[in-house]
């Protein structure tokens, strides 16, 4: 199922959402224009390489956990970027509207950092960079899940366009993430190219912390 749009009204311009999308896109384009070796070096430097923080030998110096933040703005492929930015476009504007710009930015970063931490915790020996906004966006999805559970999400389910409640769409999304994360643990020979635990970590962080960032005028049930 591919989400097309949602029906939740937004009463302010989501400037922070747009800025995050712009920064991620510009960084991705800039890195694609670089020589390949330079781009790979930057991905390892600013992507989160779990082995770097697990006392294992790597060629990377300790960076004070900076990559737990910088990895959120890096993407591996055009499709990786497009999918993340598409989910941002559909769901993040409403959450920024309910939180305000600075609280939303802080919420986004907190979810992303927690997501990155959980991925490191479950895969501490990984020696390739974990990158992408997915974990932070998962936190946004969690906030949407609780704030707009019965808003409709228009999804493309070939060959149909369907209207389904956000609670259903996002609930299925969580089940999919959990299935893939547990599969990666139970069947260690499975090749994993997606940071499933980061997705779940971001969603958990969003579910736990979203209330702390809401504008006070909104009542939360």
pLDDT at 179: 63
| Tokens of residue 119, six digits | 């991925």
Q: Is 41 within a domain?
A: yes
For residues 97 and 14, is the Cβ–Cβ distance under 8 A? Answer: yes
pLDDT of residue 218: 57
Domain presence at residue 99: yes
Name residues of the chain where pLDDT drops below 70. Answer: 179-194, 218-221
> Using CA atoms, how far apart are residues 32 and 22, in angstroms rounded to an integer?
15
Domain count, the chain: 1
Whether residue 219 is contained in a domain is answered as no
Q: How far apart are CA 153 and CA 159, in angstroms?
A: 16
Residue 221 lies in a domain: no
Asked if residue 66 is part of any domain, the answer here is: yes
DSSP category for residue 90: I
Q: Is the pTM of this model over 0.95?
A: no
Residue 218 covered by a domain: no
| Predicted pLDDT of residue 188 | 45
Q: What pLDDT is recorded for position 186?
A: 41
pLDDT at 194: 62
Q: What's the pLDDT score for residue 4? A: 94
Q: 45 in a domain, yes or no?
A: yes
Cβ burial of 65 (10 Å; 0-12, 13-18, 19+) is middle
Nearest-CA neighbor of 117 among 174, 71, 77, 178? 71
Do 111 and 138 contact (CB within 8 A), yes or no? yes
Domain with residue 49: its CATH number is 1.20.1540.10
> What is the predicted pLDDT for the residue at 192?
45
Q: Residue 106 is part of which domain span?
A: 2-213
**Residue from 196, 20, 178 nearest 91 by CA:** 20
Q: Is residue 220 in a domain? A: no
pLDDT value, residue 184: 45
SS (H, E, C) 155-209: EEECCEEEEEEHHHHHHHHHHHHHHHHHHHHHCCCCCCCCCHHHHHHHHHHHHHH
Q: What is the pLDDT of residue 180?
A: 61
Per-residue pLDDT at 175: 81
């Amino acid at each position: 199922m591919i989400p097309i749009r949602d029906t939740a009204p937004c009463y302010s311009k989501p400037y922070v959402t747009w800025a995050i999308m712009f920064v991620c896109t510009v960084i991705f384009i800039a890195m694609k224009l670089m020589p390949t070796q330079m781009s790979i070096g930057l991905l390892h430097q600013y992507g989160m390489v779990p082995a770097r923080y697990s006392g294992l030998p790597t060629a990377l110096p300790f960076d004070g956990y900076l990559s737990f933040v910088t990895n959120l703005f890096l993407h591996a492929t055009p499709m990786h970027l497009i999918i993340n930015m598409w989910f941002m476009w559909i769901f993040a504007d409403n959450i920024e509207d309910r939180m305000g710009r600075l609280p939303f930015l802080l919420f986004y970063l907190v979810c992303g950092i927690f997501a990155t931490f959980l991925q490191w915790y479950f895969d501490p020996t990984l020696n390739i960079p974990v990158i992408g906004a997915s974990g932070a966006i998962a936190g946004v999805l969690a906030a949407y899940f609780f704030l707009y559970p019965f808003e409709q999400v228009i999804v493309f389910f070939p060959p149909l366009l369907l209207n389904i409640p956000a609670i259903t769409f996002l609930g299925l999304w969580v089940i999919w993430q959990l299935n893939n994360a547990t599969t990666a643990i139970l069947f260690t020979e499975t090749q994993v190219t997606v940071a499933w635990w980061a997705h779940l970590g971001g969603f958990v962080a969003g579910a736990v912390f979203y209330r702390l960032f809401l504008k006070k005028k909104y009542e939360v049930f």
